[in-house]
Structure 1
Amino acid sequence: MKRFHRLAALLAATAIALLPTTASADVAYPDPLPLTGQQIIHDPTVHQLSDGQYVAYSTGGIIGARLSTNLRDWTDAGNAFTAPPSWWYDYNATADPWAPDLSYRDGRYWLYYAVSSWGTNHSAIGVATSPSGLPGTWTDHGPAFTSETTDSWNAIDPALVRADGELWMAFGSYWTGIRMVRLDPKTGKAIPGATVTHLATRPDAPYAVEGASILHHGRYYYLFASYDACCAGVNSTYKIRVGRSTSVTGPYADSTGTPMLEGGGDLFLSSHGRYTGPGGESTFHTHGRTWLAYHYYDATDNGTPKLGLNALSWTRDGWPAPL
C-alpha cells in the first residue's frame, strides 16, 4: 500500500527477452512489456531466485506471491506467510500488510513489509527471512522499525539499499515524506538510536510523496519516489519522480539542481494512454539489465491495478529513462 489503501492486489510481470512492441500513446513514456497470466498487482517487488524463477510479492490483504520462469507468464503462488504473525494486529485490526521489499544477502532472502492502518502513522516495518525466497518459507522476526503518532514520519513503504559496506532502509509516506535509517546487517533491524535522515518531501501539506526506491548506478544513488494520489483507479494521479546524490543519505536533487527536500524531482513516468497513475515502484537486476517494476491502473479494465515492467536506459549525463 502507499499510505491509504487496502487493496486485494496480486502480481505479474514480463519478459526480459523482449522489449515493447506495442505503440506507445506518448513518446515520452513507453508502454510496459506485455504480460500473460495473473497480472493484478499493487506495490510490486520482483526478484530472480537462485533456482532461476522470478518471484513477485505485493500488497493486498496478504503479501501475495506470483511466480514466473520468464518474466512474462505469471501464475498465482499464494501468500508469503502461511499465517499472519500475531504482532501485526497491534498495527492493523485485520493484520493487513503493505508494500513489501525483497532482497538477498548473506545466504538468505530478506522480506521487509509495512503494517499500519488507514490514515495513521502508528506503523511498523517488519522483517522476515527465507532460505529460498518462495512463499510459505518465511520466518518472521518482528518489527524492524516503528513510528508513533508523536513522530513526524511514517514507518511504511520500506526500500533496502547497501552502500559502502552498510545497510540502509528508505521509508515514508506523507508525514513529511521520505526518510532513511541505518540497519544492523546481522539482525536486519534499525540500529537503536540511529539518526533518521530526511531525503525528500513536498513544500505543501499533505506532503504527498511516498514509496521510495534507491538504485545505485555509476557514481550516483538514484532516489525514485511516488508523488500525488494512488489507489483511486482511473482517478489516481500517481507519478514517479527521480533525483540523485553521490551519497546514499543525500542530499538528492533533480537535473536542474532543485533539492528533493524542496519539492524537486524529475518526472520519470506518468499517466499515458491506458496506463493511469504509475507508482509503487521498485527496481531489480537480471540478465545484465536493470528493470523498474510498478503498478498502474488499467483505464481499459475499470481501473484494475496491474504490473508494469520497463527496462531502464541511461542518458549521456547519467539519468535513467524507461524503455
Structure 2
Amino acid sequence: MTAPRTRLSHRLAAGMAATTLALTGCTAPSHSSGAIVDQVSDIKRVSVHDPSVVKANDTYYVFGSHRAWAKSTDLVNWETFSNNLSTDFKDILGDIWQAWPKQPANSDLTGNMWAPEVVWNETMGKWCMYMSVNGTNYKSVIVLLTADDIEGDWTYVGPVVYSGFRTDTMAATDVPQVLGSDTTPSRYLSPGDTEINAIDPCVTYDEDGTMWMTFGSWFGGLWMLKLDPATGLRDYSTTYNQVEDRSDPYYGVKIAGGHAVSGEGSYLLNTNGYWYLFVSYAALQQTGGYQVRLFRSKDITGPYLDEAGNSAIFTSSITENWLGGTGIRLMSSVQWSGNDSDAIEVAQGHNSAMVDDDGTAYIVYHTRFSSRGEEHEVRVRELLPTADGWLTAAPYEYTGVKAASAGYATSELSGDYELVVHKTATFFQGLQATAKSDGDNSGTQYKGVELPVSITLHANGTVSGERTGTWNVSEGSNQMTITLTSDDGETTYAGAFADLPRDKDLKQVMTFSAIGGNQSIWASKV
C-alpha cells in the first residue's frame, strides 16, 4: 500500500476490554437530512478502545487497545479486520514480554497490549506501529513494529522507551546507555516525581520534519522525545537536561501533568496555526469521570496552555485535578432533545484527531453510555476552528454532514435553542432514584449529566431566555461570538454555527459550539 495522503496520530490504554463488534461497513443511501445513513440504527458501529486514527489512500483506520482495529471509507460506518497481531501476538511480542513487563502478578500478555499508534515513515518506507506492552507497577515498554501494508502483517523491531526500572533491573533496558549510569536516580522511584507508565504513544512530525513521540500516564506526567526516522526508534543523538517540571535526561521534554495528578492519552494535532494537545483526565470507567481537556502552543514542545493561561504541566499535587479548571473540557454528558436518554455519552476520552484532505478536522474517541455499563464504541465529531484560534467539538456525532464554512442565512440562525455548558466538576454518576436540587440535575433520572437551559437568538443580535446577552456572526462565515450573562457574570464565547443531524433521529438542526471563559458550550435549535 502506498503512503497516506493524510497522516494523523493517536490515544490511551484500557483496563477492561469490551467485546469488539463484528460489523460490516457500507455506505447507505443519503438521508434527506444529508446524513450518510437513513436512520441512526443503520450506522455500522465498532468497539475500539483508545482509537488512534490514520488515513491511507481513501480509507480511515483506527487502531486500539487489546488488538482491536477497524476501518471505514466515510468515518461513519466501520468494519473490523484482523492481521497477524490479532492471533500470533504471543509469538511476535513474546520475547520482549518475557524480558520486561511479565511479572507473577501480571503474567498474561493477552490483556496488556495498549493504545497503539500507527504512522507512515517516509524514510523507512514502512508503516510504523508504536504499542504499549504493559506491566504491573509501571513496568512497561513502548515497542515498534513495522509493516509494508497498513493492514499488516506486522514485524517486531524493538523497544523505544521503558518505565518501572530499578537499579537491579536497569541492565535489561537502554536506561544505562542514555543516563551513563548503572544506578537508578531517586526521581524515577516516585510517582509523585518522575515515575511514569510508558504507555499511550502519539507520534507526529513537526514543521521541520523532526519525528516526535509523546507518551506517559498519570502521576509522573506526560513527556515527549525525538525519534530517529531512519530506524523509527529513539534518537540517541539528542540529549535532554534535567530541569524540574520541564525536561529529563531519559524521558525528554515534559508537556503535561506530573505531581501525581491524573492525565493520559496525550495527542498532538497541528492545524489552525497551533499545536493542540489533547489529554484525558480521570478514570476510564463509566462513572470514572473520563474527559478530554485541550491546550495549545505555537511550539511542538510547548508550553501548552489553556484559554486562561494555565499550563498543562502541574508543579504541585492537586487532588482530583479532573474536577478543576485546568484545560478546556471539550465535551461532557448531555441530556437534551437532540439525543436518546438511554444512550447519553459518558466517560468520553482517549481521543485521536485528524485534519482530512479537504481541511476538515475531526476528533475520534471512545465513549461509554448511560445505560450500557462498560461497553464502549467509537465516535467521531467535527472540530470547528474559532476566530481566536481554538478548536471546539461539534454538538452532534459526525454522520456525513459538515459545517458550512461559508456561513448560513440569519433566518436560519435566529430562533430558540437549548444551551449546555460543559462544566469541569460535573461527571456521570449513574441513576438517581430521587431528583435533587443544588446542582444535582433536578428533573433527570441521571446524576452528573448536563441539562440545557432555553435561550433565543434574535435577528437583532440580542439573546433572551434563561441566559441573556448578545450574539453576532461574521459575514460570509460560520464564525460567531456570543456574550452571555449568568450568576457568574458576563462571558464572551467564540465558536461556529453548524447545521447538523441530531444524534437521536438525524433531524437536521442548527447548532453552535463555542469556547469562552475557559469552558466549552453547545447549543441546539429546537
Q: Does the alignment reach a TM-score above 0.5?
A: yes
RMSD across aligned positions (CA): 2.8
User: Aligned in 2, Cα 1:256/1:14: closer, same or farther, shift over 3 Å?
Assistant: farther
Q: Is the 8 A contact 2:18 2:47 kept in 1?
A: no
Q: Which residue number in structure 2 is paired with residue 39 of structure 1?
A: 46
Q: Which residue number in structure 2 is paired with residue 25 of structure 1?
A: none
Q: Deviations over 1:21-48 (max 9, x none)?
A: 7xxxxxxxxxxx9873342120001222
Q: Which residue number in structure 1 is paired with residue 17 of structure 2?
A: 7
User: Aligned in 2, Cα 1:199/1:310: closer, same or farther, shift over 3 Å?
Assistant: same
Q: Which residue number in structure 2 is paired with residue 127 of structure 1?
A: 144
1:110 alignment partner AA: C
2:130 alignment partner AA: Y
Q: Deviations over 1:74-122 (max 9, x none)?
A: 222124614122223431432220011122231332211101124x211
Q: Which has the higher contact order (CA 8 A, sep 6+)?
A: 1
- Structure 1 unpaired stretches of 5+: 22-32
2:126 alignment partner AA: R
| 1:161 has 2:204 as partner | yes
Q: What is the distance in 2 between the residues matched to 1:108 and 1:221?
A: 25
Q: What is the distance in 2 between the residues matched to 1:271 and 1:65?
A: 26
Q: Which shows bigger deviation, 2-11 or 83-92?
A: 2-11
Shift of 1:271: 2.8
Q: Which residue number in structure 1 is paired with residue 221 of structure 2?
A: 177
Shift of 1:226: 0.2
Bigger helix fraction = 2
Q: What is the distance in 1 between the residues matched to 2:159 and 2:19?
A: 23
Q: Which residue number in structure 1 is paired with residue 300 of structure 2?
A: 248
Q: Which residue number in structure 1 is paired with residue 97 of structure 2?
A: 88
Q: Which residue number in structure 2 is paired with residue 318 of structure 1?
A: 389
- Secondary structure in 2 matching 1:83: helix
2:108 alignment partner AA: T
Shift of 1:148: 2.2
Q: What is the distance in 2 between the residues matched to 1:3 and 1:74?
A: 21
Q: Is the 8 A contact 2:330 2:392 kept in 1?
A: yes
Q: Which residue number in structure 2 is paired with residue 29 of structure 1?
A: none
Q: Deviations over 1:276-318 (max 9, x none)?
A: 0111111123242221111110223333111111111111011
Q: Which residue number in structure 2 is paired with residue 75 of structure 1?
A: 79
1:70 alignment partner AA: D
Q: What is the distance in 1 between the residues matched to 2:332 and 2:141?
A: 29
Query: TM-score if structure 1 supplies the norm length?
Result: 0.84
Q: Which residue number in structure 2 is paired with residue 30 of structure 1?
A: none
Percent identity of equivalent pairs: 27
1:244 alignment partner AA: R
1:303 equivalent among 374, 377, 399? 374
- Structure 2 unpaired stretches of 5+: 1-10, 34-39, 167-187, 189-193, 241-251, 315-320, 336-343, 395-526
Q: Which structure: larger Rg?
A: 2
1:200-279 equivalences in 2 (<5 Å): 200-201=256-257, 205=260, 207-230=261-284, 232=285, 234-262=286-314, 264-273=326-335, 274-279=344-349
Q: Which residue number in structure 1 is paired with residue 126 of structure 2?
A: 108
Bigger strand fraction = 1
1:54-69 equivalences in 2 (<5 Å): 54-60=60-66, 63-69=67-73
Q: What is the distance in 2 between the residues matched to 1:53 and 1:47?
A: 9
Shift of 1:18: 9.2
- Secondary structure in 2 matching 1:261: coil
Q: What is the distance in 2 between the residues matched to 1:165 and 1:201?
A: 26
Q: Is the 8 A contact 1:39 1:74 kept in 2?
A: yes
Query: TM-score if structure 2 supplies the norm length?
Result: 0.53
Q: What is the distance in 1 between the residues matched to 2:351 and 2:276?
A: 13
Q: What is the distance in 2 between the residues matched to 1:35 and 1:165?
A: 41
Shift of 1:8: 4.4
Q: Is the 8 A contact 1:223 1:244 kept in 2?
A: yes
2:330 alignment partner AA: F
Q: What is the distance in 2 between the residues matched to 1:197 and 1:211?
A: 16
- Secondary structure in 2 matching 1:191: coil
2:138 alignment partner AA: N
Count of aligned pairs between the two proteins = 302
